[in-house]
């Protein structure tokens, strides 16, 4: 007798399986693989968790359209990406790498007869193995500039008593400062909330964040990627 599937006791897994089956039935020739990422893939989802699905197609336009809907009270977010495009994403390092990498290496397949998600993971890990330290440091400098800009706007908005707008800017500044930490240490996070929490930036105020940004600027300079430059230096490698 076959062993029962423990995931089918989880209502989010039930919905994920049903949506995946619907995609395969409607687009039988277009779908290459389907998987889940996020908390469901990690196995620590809760009653308030979303179902994050990715549908990989053989070519662009061959499968369903991306959609976000609620099914049986569960929010379902379906992303759709062509295989070649997704592999290209996995080979690309950007300032958002610390929150993008998780899905390349931890996606749990629902339908994957060709073990395509294993190839996605290996492609990304291979790119990381080839990456030079200065690549990450250069990206960290870009993230720092975004954090510094958002921090400055938050300070100005506070002075204008634009509290709601200031809170949005301070959130953006915290996240980008967390990206600096992730890039410099080659650490990836589950999501944005996980990033600011694990880097200790979730509860910092504007003064504390300003001090953090100053320390990050010093570290970037020590690593050969100073945040300040003259006009003559701005395009230097």
C-alpha dihedral sign at 217, 223, 225, 226: positive
Q: Is residue 159's pLDDT more than 60?
A: yes
The span from the CA of 48 to the CA of 89, in Å, is: 29
The CATH T-level fold of domain 6-130 is Beta Polymerase; domain 2 (3.30.460)
Q: Which residue has the tokens 């977010």?
A: 77
Contact present, 173 and 195 (Cβ < 8 Å): no
Distance CA 81, CA 65 (A): 9
First vs last C-alpha separation in the chain: 63
Structural domain boundaries in the chain? 6-130, 133-222
**2 pLDDT above the threshold of 70:** no
DSSP string, 171-222: HHHHHHHHHHHHHHHT---SSHHHHHHHTT-TT--HHHHHHHHHHHHHHHHH
Structure confidence at residue 4 as a pLDDT band (50, 70, 90)? very low
> Does residue 177 contact residue 140 with C-beta atoms inside 8 Å?
no
pLDDT tens digit string along 41-99?
999 999 999 999 999 999 998 999 999 999 999 999 999 999 999 999 999 999 999 99
Question: What confidence category does residue 198 fall into, taking pLDDT thresholds of 50, 70 and 90?
Answer: very high
Average pLDDT, the chain: 95
């Amino acid at each position: 007798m076959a062993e029962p599937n423990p995931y089918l006791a989880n209502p989010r897994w039930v919905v994920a399986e049903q949506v995946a089956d619907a995609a395969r039935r409607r687009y039988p020739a277009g779908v290459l693989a389907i998987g889940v990422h996020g908390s469901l893939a990690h196995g620590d989802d809760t009653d308030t968790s979303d179902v994050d699905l990715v549908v990989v197609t053989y070519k662009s336009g061959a499968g369903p359209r991306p959609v976000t809907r609620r099914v049986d009270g569960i929010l379902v977010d379906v992303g759709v990406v062509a295989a070649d495009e997704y592999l290209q994403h996995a080979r690309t390092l950007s300032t958002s790498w610390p929150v993008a990498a998780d899905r390349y290496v931890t996606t749990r397949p629902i339908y994957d007869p060709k073990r395509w998600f294993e190839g996605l993971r290996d492609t990304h890990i291979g790119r990381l193995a080839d990456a030079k330290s200065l690549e990450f440091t250069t990206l960290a400098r870009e993230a720092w500039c975004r954090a510094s800009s958002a921090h400055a706007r938050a300070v100005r908005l506070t002075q204008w008593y634009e509290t709601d707008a200031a809170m949005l800017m301070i959130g953006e500044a915290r996240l980008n400062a967390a990206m600096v930490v992730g890039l410099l240490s080659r650490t990836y996070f589950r999501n944005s909330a996980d990033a600011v929490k694990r880097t200790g930036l979730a509860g910092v105020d504007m003064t504390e964040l300003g001090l953090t940004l100053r320390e990050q600027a010093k570290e970037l300079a020590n690593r050969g990627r100073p945040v300040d430059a003259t006009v003559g230096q701005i395009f230097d490698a």
